[in-house]
Structure 1
Amino acid sequence: MSRSKTRGFTLIELLVVIAIIAVLIALLLPAVQAAREAARRIQCTNNLKQLGLGLHNYEGVAGALPPSMCMKGSGTTITWSNGWSVHGRLLPFLEQGSAFNSINFTLRYSVPENTTIGAMVIAAFLCPSEVNTQPRATTLARYGVNNYGWNMGDWYVWGGFAGAANGAPFQVNQSRTLAAFSDGLSNTVVAAEVKTYQPNLGNCGGLANVNNPNAQPSPAADPYTVAPEYNAGCTLATTGHTEWVDGAVHESGFTTAWTPNRRIVRTGGDQSQALDLIGSRESQGGPTFAAVTSRSYHPGGVNVLLADGSVRFIKDSINGDAWRALGSLRGGEVISSDSY
């Protein structure tokens, strides 16, 4: 009698097939991840474009851009502040009219009458690449986080009620017209990406070496020489950019003190924490000098919104002086388009 042979895979053949599949996965996975990141970056760009449209529509109605926040007082004494950010003032131009109409702008964002709005998660304020988008909970309220900061200065943010104006598009109690952008709308950054839950050093009581609006440290200088406060004398918090309602620079702004994604860590501290630095916060009456760096999860740089409404991708390798020049609205710098 003839025996029928059973056909099947040998162990070696099976291992070869598994190895081939593993190689294909290894080759395809980076491509898939790159495609997903490209899609996220496009959505992030669209968010900034929407903010740009909202900003121009606001200017068309009000005749000027919104202030970073509003305060009343004298010297460094604040007698009234509502703290509301540029984000909050743009709500009706971002299809959030109902939320805007629910805000009582005569009161601070943190009072019970306003905390419902402050807890809102607004998609236009979040980059799809952000890994930490959940609202921040405090003992009294919850706050929606934010991935887009408004340009509030280089190091100099605010000089108090009697201080000089900064050179950026946004400042406390200042509503600048587009005509004030003498450097050109296409040469001035109005907003850039930031990370949520950003570690920052605050309550420094001022900065020892950075205290003159007319004498700014070079962007190429050693950070620890410029600001020894990076290593001592300040309080560490991990809540930067976790309140889109707050007009303070560490919550809804950025500065051009350092180039995008610049990593500065505390010696002997957590080396994974790239730090921002706020010498004295606006809510303390100023003067405020700060290094709140633009950051993103996109490889190699950040998306920025220019004053003409266009969006550009700025590389981490941009020259520091060119970055400062893009942050100034009337500095008179000459910037070549190949500089960024």
Structure 2
Amino acid sequence: MFRSNRHPSAGSDAGICVTRRSSRRAFTLVELLVVIAIIGVLVGLLLPAVQAAREAARRMSCSNNLKQIGLAMHNYASVYRGFPASRVNIKTPDFEAGWQVMLLPYLEQTALFEDYQTNLTWSHPDNLPATEKSVPAFLCPTAPSERTMPTTAIMEERDIDYGSPRFGSSDYAAINNIRRSCWTVNNSEMPGRIQRQLPGALYSKDHKDPRVVGRGIRLSEILDGLSNTLMLVEDAGRPELYINGRLGQNPDGGEVWSGTFFVEEGWGWADHQDSISLDFADPITGLANKTDKSAPYDVNVRGSAVMNATNDGEMYSFHPGGAMSLRCDGSVQFMNESIDGLLMAALATKQGREVIEEE
């Protein structure tokens, strides 16, 4: 007889033990570190691209500001038969204003212009309701938006003896003059007879003559041609003083300004001394060259940097590699900071009679 060894009461799975193992496993430390390293590399590659895209947008906005100003300049010229002088400071009748003030009605800032009293100094407390306001067209978006104003003691040196006013800033400046130092430091002779400087596009030797208010700068005065002559350039960040992209102490300001963190002029768009005279400067210290005020106009040479060494009366921007500029024909160009100094001097003068060859 056949007999089964299985117990009759046992089920078919009796006595069978089943063990299940998961096929999932965790990251090892090495794998985790590799992933983190890859993410770090990707972020490192992405951030410069993002920053470059943002700067490109800011540079375009800066260019648009200057295009808007250029259009306003030509609208002004169509009314007054000339561009506004870089500054006007006359007596009888009293009138004080820079090119920015005179341009306000042509930048859709008529109300601001009406608040500004030209028979008072730009820093007079009665002008503060106007001068404390910012004008977007005068501000480069790459430049610092928050700026410290000079201390009360420094303000008193400019006869500002009330409270602690905050003036609306300006990052664009007219070039009053191009000094002999710009040629000397480039081993060249200054064009024309022996003199200290040559005038920029908006400079008027008659800025104290009442007639200049209605006359302005005739386009026929710009002998070098509108397309070959700079009208405005960047001198950004003022009233704070910058040297090579960083806040710096004034290295050459005499007893009052030396060691301070402020420029001497150009504290706001209303400052009638906002315009600059090019000297070129030392690229490390920011010290500008000096040209004597009397013949034979000897030059104290410090350096040959054309721009971005200092914003204390020199061409300066926060754009990498150069600065924006506006020419008298209304065109806007980004100028490389490695531009030849003699070419820059030729572009900045309005009556140098140079033959300009640009690459």
Task: Classify the TM-score, shorter chain.
Answer: 0.7 to 0.9
Matches within 5 A, 1:23-172: 23-72=41-90, 82-134=95-147, 136=149, 139-155=163-179, 167-171=199-203
Partner of 1:295: 316
Task: Note the C-alpha offset of 1:171.
Answer: 2.8
What TM-score, normalized to structure 1?
0.73
For residues 42-68 of structure 1, the C-alpha deviation after alignment (integer angstroms, 9 at most, x for no partner) is: 111111111111111111111121122
Compared CA separation, residues 140 and 36, structure 1 to 2 (3 A): closer
CA contact (8 A) 1:120 1:144 kept: yes
- Structure 1 consecutive aligned stretches of length 4 or more whose deviation exceeds 4 Å: 79-82, 163-166, 229-234, 275-280
CA contact (8 A) 1:64 1:176 kept: yes
Indicate yes or no: 2:280 matched with 1:239: no
Structure 1 alignment gaps of length 5 or more: 74-78, 157-162, 201-228, 266-273, 281-290
Compared CA separation, residues 178 and 81, structure 1 to 2 (3 A): same
Alpha-carbon separation, structure 2, partners of 1:322 and 1:96: 35
Matches within 5 A, 1:150-299: 150-155=174-179, 167-171=199-203, 173=207, 175-196=216-237, 197-199=239-241, 230=252, 235-236=257-258, 237-240=260-263, 241-248=266-273, 252-258=274-280, 263=283, 265=285, 274-275=286-287, 292-299=313-320
Equivalent residue pairs, number: 277
CA contact (8 A) 2:116 2:131 kept: no
SS in 1 for 2:317: coil
Structure 2 alignment gaps of length 5 or more: 1-17, 153-162, 181-194, 243-250, 293-311
Alpha-carbon separation, structure 2, partners of 1:319 and 1:2: 82
CA contact (8 A) 2:69 2:107 kept: yes
CA contact (8 A) 1:192 1:254 kept: no
SS in 2 for 1:16: helix
Task: Note the C-alpha offset of 1:72.
Answer: 3.4
Task: Note the C-alpha offset of 1:33.
Answer: 1.1
CA contact (8 A) 1:103 1:117 kept: yes
Task: Note the C-alpha offset of 1:279.
Answer: 8.9
Task: Output the amino acid matched with 1:45.
Answer: S
What TM-score, normalized to structure 2?
0.69
Q: Compare CA radii of gyration and give the structure with the larger one.
A: 2
Alpha-carbon separation, structure 2, partners of 1:192 and 1:102: 27
After superposition, the CA RMSD in angstroms is 3.0
Alpha-carbon separation, structure 2, partners of 1:71 and 1:52: 23
Task: Note the C-alpha offset of 1:96.
Answer: 0.8
SS in 2 for 1:15: helix
Task: Note the C-alpha offset of 1:69.
Answer: 2.3
Task: Output the amino acid matched with 1:242.
Answer: W
Alpha-carbon separation, structure 2, partners of 1:276 and 1:133: 26
Task: Note the C-alpha offset of 1:23.
Answer: 0.7
